[in-house]
């Protein structure tokens, strides 16, 4: 399974976000991070997303880590985020008794 995080902030907050990003904790051993992948726009600011891969059995731990990771950006003007878990299709099918 994966947890996908999406972050957005205005260009005026770039320096503060970059500083906090460089101080952020690394993913724990049971998670693999892909990204962050960044997109910049004059009208929409900065947007990024990351994909955090982990075993389904560690979802609670993963969500706790990612939630704590996002806290380091609290207080940055205009910062918003989303955290969404996604299951592989075989995991989703098993959840409805079809896998």
- From first to last of its 99 residues, the chain has per-residue pLDDT tens of 999 999 999 999 999 999 999 999 999 999 999 999 999 998 889 999 999 999 989 999 999 999 999 999 999 999 999 999 998 888 878 878 887
**SS3 per residue for 8-74:** EECHHHHHHHHHHHHHCCCCCCCEEEEEEEEEEECCCEEEEEEEEEECHHHHHHHHHHHHHHHHCCC
In this structure, what CATH number is given to the domain that contains residue 76?
3.30.70.1150
Domain containing 87: what range? 2-95
- Quote the tokens at residue 62: 């993963």
Q: Is 99 strand, coil or helix?
A: coil
How many structural domains is the chain composed of?
1
Residue-level pLDDT at 74: 98
Burial class of residue 66 in the structure, from the number of CB atoms within 10 Å of its CB (0-12 exposed, 13-18 middle, 19+ buried): buried
Residue-level pLDDT at 98: 85
């Amino acid at each position: 399974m994966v947890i996908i995080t999406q972050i957005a902030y205005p260009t005026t907050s770039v320096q503060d976000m970059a500083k906090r990003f460089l101080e952020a904790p690394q993913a724990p051993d049971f998670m693999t991070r892909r990204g962050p992948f960044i997109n910049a726009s004059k009208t929409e600011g900065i947007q990024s997303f990351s994909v955090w891969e982990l075993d389904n059995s560690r979802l609670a731990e993963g969500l706790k880590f990612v939630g704590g990771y996002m806290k380091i950006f609290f207080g940055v003007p205009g910062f918003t985020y989303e955290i969404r878990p996604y299951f592989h299709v075989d995991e989703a099918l098993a959840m409805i008794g079809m896998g």
